[in-house]
């Protein structure tokens, strides 16, 4: 199938900018030229690639084209850098990362990768159980994920284990768990969840008891604000050991069930593409994760 490189670049620009007009501005061509290139691709492939919404939505057929477009873009950027005709930072590298990793160990890894490779990164925040969807759609080139099975077209490597502890403020624990986290105590104690995809509090409840426990809850969809809400006594919640270690040591938080740990193995999935930038990024992420997660 013959898809000109400029058509693939146009397709990637549309998705990145969210509209035909935005892609036209980025590429310094007219919106009409953008539309013509998309129509030409759709005619050659025989399928609609984009839903003309705001922002545009990629169809199932379009996901394969987007993945190819970004792979070609990455290869072209690597080649230009190797030939001394451009920098590795010519195009964004989209990465999916869960909020807790972002709040603890991942940003230092990313900063190091930016310094050492000169690349630019777009971080997409997504739950670790949902991150592989972005890889399948071609919306990301790599992801921190809880999924061990590789997405088609990707390789996978184990990063380590993130360990979560059930914590609360001392006052909250004294009020709700004076005799420990029994079933009735947990049923009445407000808990905090990140969002409706959050699984850690439920895993802890199942660890304590097989009976169905449905406590009242708050939702706080930000890692730092989640930790702050727990510390301010809004409820109990599961925090990564990396995130709550100082607060526990200083007495601002206490463990609801000392010694009970919920483990989350993390993996690095990336496109199976020979790329110096992706290779360097992957090596740095693995090294930083190994030091932080063990």
| Tally of domains within the chain | 2
The percentage of residues in the chain with a pLDDT greater than 90, rounded to a whole number, is 64
Q: End of a domain among 33, 61, 88?
A: 88
Look at residues 41, 46, 44 and name the one whose alpha carbon lies nearest to residue 14: 41
Mean of pLDDT values over 215-225: 95
Is 201 within the bounds of a domain?
Answer: yes
Question: pLDDT tens digits for 54-81?
Answer: 889 888 888 888 888 888 877 777 776 6
Taking all residues of the chain, what is their mean pLDDT, rounded to a whole number? 91
pLDDT at position 65 is 87
pLDDT at position 139 is 81
Rounded CA gap, 220 and 165, in Å? 17
Rounded CA gap, 246 and 195, in Å? 24
Cis peptide leading into 55, omega within 30 of 0?
yes
Is 258 within the bounds of a domain?
Answer: yes
User: Please, are residues 164 and 135 in contact by the beta-carbon 8 Å criterion?
Assistant: no
- The 3-state DSSP class for residue 121 equals strand
pLDDT at position 273 is 83
Look at residues 61, 243, 91 and name the one whose alpha carbon lies nearest to residue 164: 243
Assessment of whether the complete model's pTM goes beyond 0.75 = yes
User: Please, are residues 63 and 71 in contact by the beta-carbon 8 Å criterion?
Assistant: no
Is 271 within the bounds of a domain?
Answer: no
Mean of pLDDT values over 30-43: 91
**Which DSSP letter does residue 130 get?**
T
pLDDT at position 71 is 81
- Do 84 and 175 reside in the same domain of the chain? no
Is 82 within the bounds of a domain?
Answer: yes
Is 229 within the bounds of a domain?
Answer: yes
**Long-range Cβ pairs for the range 5-10 (8 Å, 24+):** 5/72, 5/76, 6/37, 7/37, 7/38, 7/40, 7/41, 8/65, 8/68, 8/69, 8/72, 8/73, 9/69, 9/72, 9/73, 10/34, 10/37, 10/38
Position 90 pLDDT exceeds 60: no
Distances (CA, A) of 140 to 34, 61, 137, 144, 192: 23, 16, 8, 11, 30
Range in 49-63, 72-86, 270-284 with the lowest mean pLDDT: 72-86
Position 263 pLDDT exceeds 70: yes
Rounded CA gap, 203 and 241, in Å? 16
Domain range for 218? 162-263
CATH code at position 59 = 1.10.10.10
- The 3-state DSSP class for residue 249 equals helix
Position 88 pLDDT exceeds 70: no
What are the residues whose beta carbons fall under 8 Å from the beta carbon of 13, sequence distance 6 or more? 22, 23, 26, 27, 34
CATH code at position 214 = 3.40.190.10
What are the residues whose beta carbons fall under 8 Å from the beta carbon of 273, sequence distance 6 or more? 71, 74, 75, 141
Position 151 pLDDT exceeds 80: yes
- Do 166 and 82 reside in the same domain of the chain? no
pLDDT at position 2 is 77
pLDDT category at 84 given cuts 50, 70, 90 is low
Q: What angle do CA 3, 13, 84 make, to 5 degrees?
A: 80
Mean of pLDDT values over 175-197: 95
Distances (CA, A) of 63 to 57, 75, 105, 182, 236: 10, 18, 30, 48, 40
pLDDT category at 82 given cuts 50, 70, 90 is low
Tokens standing for residue 152: 């088609």
Position 28 pLDDT exceeds 70: yes
């Amino acid at each position: 199938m013959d898809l000109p490189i400029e058509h693939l670049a146009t397709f990637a620009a549309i998705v990145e900018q969210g509209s035909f007009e935005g892609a036209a501005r980025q590429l310094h061509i007219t919106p009409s030229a953008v539309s013509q290139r998309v129509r030409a691709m759709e005619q050659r492939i025989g399928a609609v690639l984009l839903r003309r919404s705001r922002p545009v939505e990629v169809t199932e057929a379009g996901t394969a084209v987007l993945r190819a477009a970004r792979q070609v873009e990455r290869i072209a950027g690597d080649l230009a850098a190797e030939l001394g005709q451009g920098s590795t930072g010519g195009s964004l590298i989209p990465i999916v990362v869960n909020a807790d990793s972002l709040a603890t160990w991942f940003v230092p890894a990313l900063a190091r990768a930016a310094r050492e490779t000169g690349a630019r990164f777009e971080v997409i925040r997504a739950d670790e159980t949902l991150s592989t969807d972005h890889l399948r759609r071609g919306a990301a080139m790599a992801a921190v994920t809880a999924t061990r099975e590789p997405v088609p077209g990707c390789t996978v490597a184990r990063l380590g284990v993130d360990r979560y502890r059930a914590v609360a403020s001392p006052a909250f624990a004294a009020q709700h768990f004076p005799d420990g986290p029994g079933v009735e105590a947990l049923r009445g104690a407000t808990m905090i969840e990140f969002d409706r995809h959050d699984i850690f509090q439920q895993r802890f409840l199942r660890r304590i008891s097989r009976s169905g426990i449905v406590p009242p809850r708050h939702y706080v969809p930000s890692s730092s604000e989640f930790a702050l809400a727990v510390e301010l006594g809004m409820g109990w919640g599961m925090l990564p050991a990396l995130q709550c270690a100082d607060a526990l040591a200083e007495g601002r938080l206490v463990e609801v069930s000392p010694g009970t740990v919920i483990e989350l193995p993390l993996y690095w999935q990336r496109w199976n593409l020979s790329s110096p930038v992706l290779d360097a990024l992957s090596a740095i992420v693995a090294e930083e994760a190994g030091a932080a997660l063990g």
